[in-house]
């Protein structure tokens, strides 16, 4: 997790200054060139070896479990909690009770120590991100994590770069869907670009990002403010 122990503390300070509205465009460009990219964050394809061969393809794709069955906090909190061992054992006390693949889960259940899952996605600490702000406004998991329901092992699909965040923040409409379909990764796959845009515009109006005439509101300008993501 401590990728950049040296530059992080003063970067925090700097970003607070930027949030305060200082004229720092020049400095910002220099910083971008100087630091380049923070490797692990941007590492699309990153797929650490997990302590248990847990498969989303099986549990979500085949068994049909909803994301929120395990990631219970995605709608209510900034972070998306990884499930406690109890969630697994509610089935696995009876299902595959002797499977050696589940050894670490059973020993966690008996010791009370969590399974040491390795984090796949990890933004630098100076970036503020919030799951509930996206999930409760119609941004599906699939927009940022890809087809997790087809993955045997989760890997990072998007680069999670600032440019990537901003690309959607500048024009979210085609990335939005009715809130009750956010965890249905298959939903709306056949829609054309025009259909996505038209449906998205209506959702944008509902969120107050567009006014009734379809013009961006002041709330829309917050989407690209430095202090929205660097606070
Ligand atoms: C039965 C429980 C369960 C369900 C249902 C489930 N997950 Fe997970 N998820 C896990 C566990 C356990 C991990 C940690 C191990 C791993 O990364 O594979 C995880 C990890 C993840 C990660 C990687 C987190 C990181 O470390 O960055 C993402 C993204 C994710 N899940 C998305 C989803 C999505 C999207 C759905 C619904 C389509 C879903 N999950 C449904 C149990 C579940
Ligand atoms: C709703 C019930 C349910 C929950 C909750 C659940 N599983 Fe499963 N899991 C299953 C079923 C069903 C299978 C398939 C068993 C089989 O093939 O015999 C399975 C298979 C597995 C396997 C493969 C076992 C083998 O030997 O092939 C692993 C590993 C696994 N689950 C881990 C987990 C983990 C870790 C969690 C918690 C994050 C979890 N499961 C939560 C139902 C569940
Ligand atoms: C707008 C993009 C976006 C959407 C939508 C999104 N995520 Fe994430 N997710 C991220 C980012 C970025 C991180 C890394 C957060 C960090 O490191 O602070 C992450 C991390 C995670 C993690 C690891 C735990 C954590 O909070 O760091 C899990 C699990 C996860 N997401 C599951 C989900 C599920 C399930 C959904 C849908 C219900 C979802 N995500 C929707 C971008 C997104
Ligand atoms: C696929 C589209 C999409 C992507 C990708 C995306 N966002 Fe967002 N983001 C949104 C939408 C839509 C909103 C809701 C705006 C509103 O309702 O005012 C939002 C809101 C936010 C907010 C405001 C939360 C609040 O307090 O209300 C933050 C912070 C944020 N996003 C950070 C990020 C970061 C950081 C990334 C990249 C790691 C990111 N977003 C990627 C669509 C996206
Ligand atoms: C929608 C969210 C979002 C907004 C708005 C945003 N940033 Fe960022 N920023 C990020 C993310 C995510 C990263 C980390 C990933 C990366 O390095 O690209 C980042 C990284 C940075 C860095 C570190 C340099 C680097 O590339 O590693 C600087 C400096 C920065 N942002 C400045 C700004 C300034 C100045 C603004 C306003 C013009 C701004 N940011 C607006 C999300 C955002």
| Domain-located, residue 89 | no
Render pLDDT for 215-230 as a digit per residue (tens, 0 to 9): 999 999 999 999 999 9
**Whole-angstrom Cα distance, residue 65 to residue 193?**
29
Answer yes or no: is the C-beta of 105 below 6 A from any ligand 3 atom.
Answer: no
- Asked if the model's pLDDT at residue 205 lies above 80, the reply is yes
| Domain-located, residue 20 | yes
Domain count, the chain: 1
The number of the ligand nearest the C-alpha atom of 70 reads: 1
| Domain-located, residue 114 | no
| Domain-located, residue 164 | yes
Answer yes or no: is the C-beta of 157 below 6 A from any ligand 5 atom.
Answer: no
Answer yes or no: is the C-beta of 102 below 6 A from any ligand 3 atom.
Answer: no
Percent of all residues in the chain with a pLDDT value above 90, rounded to a whole number = 77
**196 Cα to the center of ligand 3, angstroms:** 22
Question: SS3 letters for 32-54?
Answer: HHHHCCCCCCCCCCCCCCCCCCC
- Asked if the model's pLDDT at residue 148 lies above 70, the reply is yes
**80 Cα to the center of ligand 1, angstroms:** 9
Answer yes or no: is the C-beta of 60 below 6 A from any ligand 2 atom.
Answer: no
Render pLDDT for 41-75 as a digit per residue (tens, 0 to 9): 677 889 989 999 999 999 999 999 999 999 999 99
**Domain span at 166:** 7-46+123-229
**138 Cα to the center of ligand 2, angstroms:** 29
13-27, 102-116, 118-132, 187-201 — which is least confidently predicted? 13-27
- Per-residue pLDDT averaged across 199-223, rounded? 95
| Domain-located, residue 112 | no
* Residue ID of nearest Cα to ligand 3 atom 18: 123
Burial annotation 180-205 (CB, 10 A radius, 16+ → b, else e) = eebbbbeeeeeeeeeebeebbbebbe
∠ at Cα 228 (227, 230), nearest 5°? 55
Please give the torsion angle defined by the CA atoms of residues 77, 175, 146 and 61, in that order, rounded to the nearest 10 degrees.
80
| Domain-located, residue 11 | yes
| Domain-located, residue 98 | no
Residue 78 neighbours by CB under 8 Å, 6+ apart: 129, 130, 131, 132, 133
Answer yes or no: is the C-beta of 168 below 6 A from any ligand 3 atom.
Answer: no
| Domain-located, residue 132 | yes
């Amino acid at each position: 997790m401590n990728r950049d122990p040296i530059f992080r503390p003063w970067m925090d300070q700097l970003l607070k200054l930027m949030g305060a509205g200082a004229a720092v465009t020049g400095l910002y460009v220099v910083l971008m060139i100087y630091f380049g990219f923070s490797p692990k964050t941007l590492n699309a394809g990153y797929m650490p070896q997990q302590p248990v061969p847990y498969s989303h393809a099986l549990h979500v794709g085949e068994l049909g479990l909803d994301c929120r069955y395990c990631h219970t906090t995605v709608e209510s909190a900034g972070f998306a909690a990884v499930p406690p061992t109890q969630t697994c054992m509610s089935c696995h006390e009876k299902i595959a009770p002797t499977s050696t693949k589940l050894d670490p889960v059973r020993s966690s259940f008996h010791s009370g120590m969590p399974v040491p899952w390795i984090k796949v996605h990890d933004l630098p600490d100076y970036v503020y991100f919030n799951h509930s702000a996206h999930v409760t406004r119609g941004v599906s998991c699939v927009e940022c994590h890809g087809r997790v329901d087809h993955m045997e092992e989760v890997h990072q699909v998007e680069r999670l770069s600032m440019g990537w965040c901003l690309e959607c923040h500048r024009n979210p409409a085609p990335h939005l869907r009715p809130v009750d379909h956010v965890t249905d990764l298959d939903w709306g796959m056949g829609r054309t670009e025009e259909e996505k845009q038209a449906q998205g515009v209506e959702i944008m109006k509902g969120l107050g990002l567009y006014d009734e005439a379809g013009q961006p509101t002041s709330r829309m300008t917050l989407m690209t403010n430095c202090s929205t993501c660097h606070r």
